[in-house]
């Protein structure tokens, strides 16, 4: 499975960005797709995830209410709509692809996920 993320850039505080990630290759159905981010000098942290049917979404507390994750299975794409951005959201954002689990806390750890995109830089600055 190959993942290609796009949509990053420079945005002012309070602004919005929409990230996209396209999956290709031998994708398997009933997967979960998600987003992580990594700021300089910090560990990669969970941002959001969405199940295959889009019936369940999960968010980090730091982005709850500001970010929205969605997917289009016909296109094998996942999206991250980011609103009310702050400088603390500055990071490289990575999309991820993996298997579903009832142990929701597994989604919050990078080691659970099977595949990763190359990352797209998001910089929030005035």
Give the Cα separation of 107 and 46 in Å (integer).
8
Q: What is the DSSP string of 50-84?
A: EETTS--EEE-TTTTTTEEEEEETTTTEEEEEE-S
Q: What percent of the chain has pLDDT over 70?
A: 100
Confidence (pLDDT) at 17 = 98
**Looking at the predicted structure, is the pLDDT value of residue 28 above 90?**
no
73 half-sphere exposure, CB direction, 13 A CA radius: 11
pLDDT confidence band for 27 (50 / 70 / 90)? confident
**Looking at the predicted structure, is the pLDDT value of residue 59 above 90?**
yes
Give the Cα separation of 71 and 48 in Å (integer).
12
pLDDT digits (tens, 9 = 90+) for 5-22: 999 999 999 999 999 999
Q: Averaged over 51-65, what is the pLDDT? A: 92
Confidence (pLDDT) at 41 = 95
């Amino acid at each position: 499975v190959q993942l290609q993320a796009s949509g990053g850039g420079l945005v002012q505080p309070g602004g919005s960005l929409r990230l996209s990630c396209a999956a290709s290759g031998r994708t398997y159905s009933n997967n979960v797709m998600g987003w992580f981010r990594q700021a300089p000098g910090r560990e990669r942290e969970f941002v959001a995830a969405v199940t295959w049917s889009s019936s369940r979404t999960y968010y980090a507390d730091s982005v709850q209410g500001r970010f929205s994750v969605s997917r289009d299975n016909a296109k094998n794409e996942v999206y991250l709509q980011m609103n009310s951005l702050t400088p603390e959201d500055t990071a490289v954002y990575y999309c991820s692809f993996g298997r579903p689990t009832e142990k929701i806390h597994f989604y919050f750890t990078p080691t659970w996920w099977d595949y990763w995109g190359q990352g797209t830089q998001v910089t929030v600055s005035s």
